[in-house]
C-alpha cells in the first residue's frame, strides 16, 4: 500500500479516535451519574474497544495498550455496581489523558515517535496500576456491603422507554433508506444496543432476538418490517417502564417474519460473497477499495495486507 493511501487510512483512524475520545471525556466528567446507566457504561466500553481495535490494525502498540487498559477498567464498571469517588475519577481521567496525548501526538507533524510513546506509557503506568488496584478495592467493599433489596434488581432501568426511543429514531431513518446489506447490518447493531439496554429482562431479550432474526432476512422488505418492528419495540418499552415486562410477547406477525429468517440466514452463509473487481493499477485499485468498503473494513483490510507483505 502506498504512502498516500496509508495516510488516508491513518486519517480515518485519527478522526474516529477523536470521536471516541469525546465520548469518553463526556462520560468521565459525569462518572458518578454515568455508572448508574448501563448503556452509557457500555458506550464508553465500546469507545475504548474501538480505539484499541483500530490501533492494533495499524500497529500502534502504545495506543492499543492504553485503550485496552481503559477498556478493562470500564468492564469492571459494567460488571459491578460500585460507588464512584473523586479518587477513582482522578485515576480514570489520568488514563484518558494518556490516550488523548498519544492520539494528538499521532496527529502531529512528526507522527507518534516510538521513543515518545514509550516515555508516555512509562509515565502513565503507575496511574493505571493504581486505577486497577483501587477498582479492586471498591469491588471488594461493594461485595461485603449489606445486599440491597432483591426487588431493586427487577426494577426497569431509569427512563427505559426514553432510552429505547433514542435508538428507535435512527432505526426508523434506516428503514426509510434504500435496502442494502450495510443498512441491515446497522439495524442489527441497533438491535444489539436495545438488547444491552434490557440485558436482565428475559421477555425483552426474546422480543429483540425475534426482531434481529426478522431484520436478518433479506427477503423481507423494509416497508414490511418497519411498522411491525417499531411498534412492537415501542409498546414493549412502555410495558417495561410500567413494570409489566412479563406481558411482552412477540406478535404472530413478528414471529412469522423471524421464523422465515432462519432458512434465509442459513442460506446466506453458503452463498458466494459479494465480489468487487479490482484493477491492477495500484491507485485505481485503492480508489475502488475506498468506495467499496467502510472505514472499519478498510482498517481490517490494511491489517491483512500488512500480514501478507511481512
The pLDDT value recorded for residue 108 is 84
How large is the C-alpha radius of gyration of the chain?
22
Q: Could you give the count of Cα atoms lying within 13 Å of 25 in the half-sphere of its Cβ?
A: 10
The full DSSP string for the chain is --HHHHHHHHHHHHHHHHHHHHHHHHHHHTHHHHTT-HHHHHHHHHHHHHHHHHHHHTT-HHHHHHHHHHHHHHHHHHH------HHHHHHHHHHHHHHHHHHHHHHSTT---HHHHHHHHHHHHHHHHHHHHHHHHHHHHHHHSPPPPTHHHHSPPTTHHHHHHHHHHHHHHHHHS---HHHHHHHHHHHHHHHHHTTT-HHHHHHHHHHHHHHH-TTS-HHHHHHHHHHHHHHHHHHHHTT-GGG----HHHHHHHHHHHHHHHHHHHSPPP-----SSHHHHHHHHHHHS-HHHHHHHHHHHHHHH-
Print the SS3 string covering 72-135.
HHHHHHHHCCCCCCHHHHHHHHHHHHHHHHHHHHHHCCCCCCHHHHHHHHHHHHHHHHHHHHHH
Tell me if 258 sits within 8 A of 210, measured CB to CB.
yes
Q: How far apart are CA 205 and CA 213, in angstroms?
A: 12
Pairwise CA distance, residues 256 & 267, whole Å: 18
How many alpha carbons fall within 13 Å on the CB side of residue 224? 12
The grid cell for 222 is 423494509
Q: For the residues 270-277, what does the mean pLDDT come to? A: 54
Query: Does the pLDDT of residue 227 top 80, yes or no?
Result: yes
Q: How far apart are CA 282 and CA 4, in angstroms?
A: 11
Q: Does the pLDDT of residue 302 top 90, yes or no?
A: no
**pLDDT digits 0-9 by tens, 130-163:** 999 999 999 998 887 665 444 444 456 678 989 9
Q: Which residue has the higher pLDDT, 88 or 302?
A: 88
Answering whether pTM is above 0.85, one says no
In tens, the pLDDT along 57-85 reads: 888 999 999 999 999 999 999 999 888 99
Q: What is the pLDDT of residue 307?
A: 65
Closest CA to 35 of 132, 135, 130: 135
pLDDT at 223 over 70: yes
CA 308 to CA 310: how far, in whole Å?
5
- Residue 145 has a pLDDT of 66
Q: What is the pLDDT of residues 229-238, one digit of tens each?
A: 999 999 999 9
- Residue 269's pLDDT is what? 40
Backbone φ and ψ of 68, nearest 5°: -65, -40
* pLDDT > 90? residue 278: no
Q: Is the per-residue pLDDT at 209 higher than 90?
A: yes
The answer to whether residue 272 scores a pLDDT higher than 50 is: no
pLDDT tens for each residue of 91-100: 999 999 999 9
Pair 44, 84: CB distance under 8 Å? no
Q: Residues 109, 111, 112, 116: what is their CA dihedral angle, to the nearest 10 degrees?
A: -40
Q: How many CB atoms lie within 10 A of CB 187?
A: 21
Angle of the 252-270 helix axis to the 202-216 helix axis, nearest 10 = 50
Q: Is the pLDDT of residue 260 over 80?
A: no
Contact 191/164 with Cβ under 8 angstroms? no
**Is residue 202 over pLDDT 80?**
yes
Amino acid at each position: 500500500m502506498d504512502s498516500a493511501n496509508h495516510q488516508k487510512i491513518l486519517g480515518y483512524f485519527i478522526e474516529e479516535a477523536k470521536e471516541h475520545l469525546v465520548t469518553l471525556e463526556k462520560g468521565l466528567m459525569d462518572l458518578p451519574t454515568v455508572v448508574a446507566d448501563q448503556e452509557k457504561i457500555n458506550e464508553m466500553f465500546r469507545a475504548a474497544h474501538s480505539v484499541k481495535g483500530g490501533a492494533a490494525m495499524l500497529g500502534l502498540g502504545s495506543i492499543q495498550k492504553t485503550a485496552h487498559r481503559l477498556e478493562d477498567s470500564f468492564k469492571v464498571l459494567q460488571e459491578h455496581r460500585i460507588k464512584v469517588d473523586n479518587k477513582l475519577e482522578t485515576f480514570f481521567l489520568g488514563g484518558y489523558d494518556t490516550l488523548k496525548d498519544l492520539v494528538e501526538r499521532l496527529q502531529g507533524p512528526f507522527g507518534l515517535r516510538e521513543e515518545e510513546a514509550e516515555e508516555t506509557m512509562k509515565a502513565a503506568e503507575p496511574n493505571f496500576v493504581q486505577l486497577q488496584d483501587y477498582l479492586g478495592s471498591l469491588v471488594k467493599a461493594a461485595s461485603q456491603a449489606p445486599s440491597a433489596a432483591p426487588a431493586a434488581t427487577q426494577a426497569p432501568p431509569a427512563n427505559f422507554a426514553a432510552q429505547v426511543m433514542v435508538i428507535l429514531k435512527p432505526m426508523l431513518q434506516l428503514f426509510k433508506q434504500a435496502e442494502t446489506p450495510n443498512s441491515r447490518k446497522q439495524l442489527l447493531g441497533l438491535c444489539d444496543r436495545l438488547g444491552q439496554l434490557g440485558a436482565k429482562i428475559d421477555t425483552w431479550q426474546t422480543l429483540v432476538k425475534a426482531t434481529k432474526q426478522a431484520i436478518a432476512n433479506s427477503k423481507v422488505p423494509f416497508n414490511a418490517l418497519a411498522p411491525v418492528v417499531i411498534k412492537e419495540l415501542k409498546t414493549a418499552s412502555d410495558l417495561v417502564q410500567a413494570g409489566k415486562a412479563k406481558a411482552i410477547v412477540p406478535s404472530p406477525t413478528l414471529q412469522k417474519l423471524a421464523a422465515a429468517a432462519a432458512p434465509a440466514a442459513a442460506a446466506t452463509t453458503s452463498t458466494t460473497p459479494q465480489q468487487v473487481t479490482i484493477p491492477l493499477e495500484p491507485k485505481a485499485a485503492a480508489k475502488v477499495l475506498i468506495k467499496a468498503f467502510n472505514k472499519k473494513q478498510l482498517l481490517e483490510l490494511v491489517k491483512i495486507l500488512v500480514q501478507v507483505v511481512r
